[in-house]
Structure 1
């Protein structure tokens, strides 16, 4: 299996990856095809696919913020079961991320990730791929070391229409100190403002959520 980076929407593997995203994720979670052109050219955004016999069978996107000393897993997709795509992506992603951190002279406190909460919605099919079932994905994140941040999370729609998307949790995987029980609330709010700066249309509820975080000292890490 090949771990292959995509940096151009003209790459034929990108079309396969985008179709895979549409098959797996709800429409509000998928950025339009043409709007990927600029993010793919950003050296800080790392988009990789798993290729087996010329076919994209998985994908992941992540980024590292040196100023905050944290990373973010944007998404992980398993397109075919029984190939070991999940472990392959997780291991290669961490190898690449550690190399990026080392080359930048930075450190890595931990990694954020969003995860759907199936206890809040029972209509999440995710393309019919069993490995992408939200219950399974939550257990996988838990095994990797992710924990839920203790606040009501709202995320702006990637349609950039100002709509609020509910039913997700924001999680954090401590790396520098795996035993911590909380993170600074300022780290969470700063990360969210930086991460969603690309979306000019954000719902009022999102701004209110960020303001509440800024009034707190810490955010507890809870089991997923």
Structure 2
């Protein structure tokens, strides 16, 4: 299996990647195809495909923020059972991030991720069993993700200014004993991450304001 980076919307692999996105996630979580041109060309956004026998069977997107020494996993998709795609993507992603952190003369503090909470909202998506929200949540817990103790919403990727709920903002610390994060770091990260979306819901701006008024936020079991 190959781990191939995609940096151009014209790359034939990207159409397969975007189809996986559309098959797995609800519409409000998927950026429209043509709007991917600039993100793919951004050196700070890393989109990789797992390619098996010439076909895209999985994909992941993530970012590394050198000034904060943290990463964000935008998505990880398994497109076929029985090939060990999830472990392959997780290991290759971590190797890449560790390399980026080493070039920054440090070790990775940790990685953010938004994780669906199917125990709170009844989701009906996923496509194949490995992408079922219950399975994904448990797998990410096993990887070491912890839930950031805030009521979480994010702006819709459809750009309509709606608030999307039913997810938790989580963090996988490099130090498993870490029990909290600086709240201003979380606020700064989210502000930069969602800067591309002009319309922000009031619930999101209120959440950011509350974070800026706190010193820290707890990391709880997922």
TM-score tier, shorter chain, comes to over 0.9
Q: Which residue of 2 is the match for residue 103 of structure 1? A: 103
Aligned equivalents of 2:30, 2:113: Cα separation in 1: 16
Does residue 194 in structure 1 map to residue 183 in structure 2? no
Does residue 16 in structure 1 map to residue 16 in structure 2? yes
Identify unmatched segments of 5+ residues in structure 2.
Answer: none
Identify unmatched segments of 5+ residues in structure 1.
Answer: none
Q: Secondary structure at the match of 1:83?
A: coil
1:60–1:76 CA contact under 8 A, matched in 2: yes
Q: Which residue of 2 is the match for residue 185 of structure 1? A: 183
Shift of 1:178: 1.9
2:112–2:172 CA contact under 8 A, matched in 1: yes
Does residue 155 in structure 1 map to residue 140 in structure 2? no
Q: Which residue of 2 is the match for residue 69 of structure 1? A: 69
CA deviations on 1:86-140 (whole Å, 9 max, x unpaired) are 000000000011111222334421110011100121133212x111111111111
Aligned equivalents of 1:106, 1:201: Cα separation in 2: 35
CA deviations on 1:31-76 (whole Å, 9 max, x unpaired) are 0101000000011100000001111100000011111111100000
Q: Where does structure 1 differ by over 4 angstroms across 4 or more consecutive aligned residues?
A: none
Q: TM-score, normalised by structure 2?
A: 0.98
Q: Which residue of 1 is the match for residue 212 of structure 2? A: 214
RMSD across aligned positions (CA): 0.9
Residue correspondence of structure 1 range 53-68 to structure 2 within 5 A: 53-68=53-68
Q: Which residue of 2 is the match for residue 204 of structure 1? A: 202
Does residue 144 in structure 1 map to residue 143 in structure 2? yes
Give the number of equivalent residue pairs.
222
Q: TM-score, normalised by structure 1?
A: 0.97
Q: Secondary structure at the match of 1:80?
A: coil
Aligned equivalents of 2:205, 2:30: Cα separation in 1: 22
Q: Which residue of 2 is the match for residue 7 of structure 1? A: 7
Shift of 1:200: 0.9
Shift of 1:218: 0.9
